[in-house]
Amino acid sequence: MKQIVSILLVAAIGILIFSALYFSDETLKFNEYGNVNLDDRVSEKYIDKSVNGNTEEIIFGETQNAESGSANMVTSVVVNYRSFDTLGEVTVLFVSALGVGLLLNGKRKRKNLKDAPNFILKQGARIIFGIMVVFGVYMFIHGHITPGGGFPGGAIIAASILLLYLSDDEFRVKLSAAKAVESTAGSLYVIVGLLGIVLAGYFLQNFLPTGTVGEVISSGVIPIVYMLIGLKVGSELSSVIDGFLTEEVEG
Amino acid sequence: MIQYFSIVLMLVGIYGLLSQRNVIKLIAALNIFEIGLNLFIVSIGFVKDGLVPILTSNNESSAMLYVDPLPHALVLTSIVIGVGVTALALALAKKMHDKYGTYDMDEMGGK
């Protein structure tokens, strides 16, 4: 009975969505897939880096002191043009990690793994752990010139911590260290924003020279902010993993 | 085509949310719904024959045709918030299991 009612409701919602998007009047109709004119959209300004009225073409490896020096346009939207949104997003992630910490609190110890890991597994996982951490750091340092950035880099670091948890039944993250990294990175992000007010006039405004598009040391505060985000996300997700793989000790 | 697929994925998620009583299945349904929505938002930004919106040594000019970077940035935000919500929901589910010994919401009410 419940299934039938759900199917009817879902069918009603589906008909509503499809008819509103694809079968309504010509004026209200949704753009066909792929048939988009970017000149109608604000994104055109983000691609040309012309929000402040710059009209020159941006060339990889040549253009200097562009408005946002990031070669990766998604990064320039996330950490430069809309950095305030990202600060809110990082705050949401912080609050959810705080909630997990509050719910799974108390004195805790590791859960026993079903099969005790042997020597080869432990040592092999440690070697892979080092490579994964280096890759995660590479990812958030190069967030402005290659795909990736702070969030995937932090997630890769947290995944390397998860690998250690699964391969070693005595390993635990030092929670105090994770919290110290997290709070330092979070406060430094806000401090970078406040420095923007002092030096450039707006919160989170870029106040460093943006350099040549496509070089590692370029685009002002973007690499700094992405590094802070990467450290923050990595330590937050590591403490969440710790909450799920431990159990409360009685008494 | 991918837009139809992502809307169908969203509908699958809504069906799961409406019909299931197991907390873990509800969280999975929420995630399916979210993935469908994210795919849909990304598909809005697709431009036919557009390049990946990153300047490299192969496509070095901003005058070339790129796909829309703004939906990608919004979906990046949405994915991270989804991870946070899922982690919190799973922690709540674990707490419920500790208290009632079951993940089923119907059985929880009886105790």
Q: Which amino acid is at B53?
A: P
Are A89 and B77 in contact (CB < 8 Å)?
Answer: yes
Of A240, A63, A92, A133, nearest to B87 by C-alpha is A240
Measured between alpha carbons, how far is A138 from A141 in angstroms, rounded to an integer? 5
Are B80 and A99 in contact by the 8 Å Cβ rule? The answer is: no
- Report the range of poorest mean pLDDT among A54-63, A175-184, B29-38: A54-63
Indicate the burial class of A39 (C-beta count within 10 angstroms; 0-12, 13-18, 19 or more): exposed
Residue A87, in any domain of the structure: yes
Q: Which two tokens stand for residue A158?
A: 């947290």
Q: Which residues of A touch B88 (CB under 8 A)?
A: 96, 99-100, 103
**Residue A168: per-residue pLDDT:** 87
Place of tokens 């990294």: A181
pLDDT digits (tens, 9 = 90+) for B34-47: 999 999 999 988 88
Within 182-221 of A, beta carbons closer than 8 Å to B belong to 213-214
Inform me whether the C-beta atom of residue A12 falls under 8 Å from chain B C-beta atoms: no
Inform me whether the C-beta atom of residue A128 falls under 8 Å from chain B C-beta atoms: no
Residue B36, in any domain of the structure: yes
**pLDDT-derived band at A191, boundaries 50, 70, 90:** very high
**Residue B76: per-residue pLDDT:** 92
The average pLDDT across B52-74 equals 89
Task: State which residue of chain A sits closest to B78, comparing Cα positions.
Answer: A89
Task: State which residue of chain A sits closest to B54, comparing Cα positions.
Answer: A72
3-state secondary structure at position B11: helix
Work out whether the CA dihedral A82, B63, A146, B72 comes out positive or negative. positive
Q: Which two tokens stand for residue A176?
A: 């105090």
**pLDDT-derived band at A157, boundaries 50, 70, 90:** very high
Inform me whether the C-beta atom of residue A162 falls under 8 Å from chain B C-beta atoms: no
The average pLDDT across A213-227 equals 88
**pLDDT-derived band at A109, boundaries 50, 70, 90:** confident
Within 78-107 of B, beta carbons closer than 8 Å to A belong to 79-81, 83-85, 87-88, 90-92, 94-95
Shortest alpha-carbon distance between residue A68 and chain B (Å)? 13
Q: Which residues of A touch B70 (CB under 8 A)?
A: 41-43, 46, 77
Residue B71, in any domain of the structure: yes
**Residue B99: per-residue pLDDT:** 87
Residue B73, in any domain of the structure: yes
What is the average pLDDT value for chain A, to the nearest integer?
A: 89
The average pLDDT across A34-46 equals 84
- The domain total for chain A is 1
pLDDT at A133 over 80: yes
Residue B54, in any domain of the structure: no
Q: Which residues of B touch A71 (CB under 8 A)?
A: 54-56
pLDDT at A54 over 80: no
pLDDT at A58 over 90: no
**Residue A234: per-residue pLDDT:** 94
Residue B70, in any domain of the structure: yes
- The domain total for chain B is 1
**Structural domain boundaries enclosing A219:** 70-248
**pLDDT-derived band at A56, boundaries 50, 70, 90:** confident
Query: Which residue in the set A10, A21, A74 is minimally distant from B11, CB to CB?
Result: A10
Residue A177, in any domain of the structure: yes
Measured between alpha carbons, how far is B35 from B7 in angstroms, rounded to an integer? 10
Residue B7, in any domain of the structure: yes
Measured between alpha carbons, how far is A185 from A49 in angstroms, rounded to an integer? 28
Residue A27, in any domain of the structure: no
3-state secondary structure at position A71: coil
- Can you give the CATH number for the domain in which B7 is found? 1.10.287.3510
pLDDT at A112 over 90: no
pLDDT at A149 over 90: no
Measured between alpha carbons, how far is A196 from A221 in angstroms, rounded to an integer? 10
**Residue A251: per-residue pLDDT:** 62
pLDDT at A107 over 70: yes
**Structural domain boundaries enclosing B11:** 2-46+66-110
**Residue A13: per-residue pLDDT:** 94
**Residue A125: per-residue pLDDT:** 94
Are A124 and A201 in contact by the 8 Å Cβ rule? The answer is: no
pLDDT at A198 over 60: yes
Q: Which residues of B touch A20 (CB under 8 A)?
A: none
Give bridge partners of residue A108 from the DSSP assignment: A248
Within 51-70 of A, beta carbons closer than 8 Å to B belong to 57-61
The average pLDDT across B22-32 equals 95
Selected residue with higher pLDDT from A30 and A148:
A148
**pLDDT-derived band at B111, boundaries 50, 70, 90:** low
What is the average pLDDT value for chain B, to the nearest integer?
A: 90
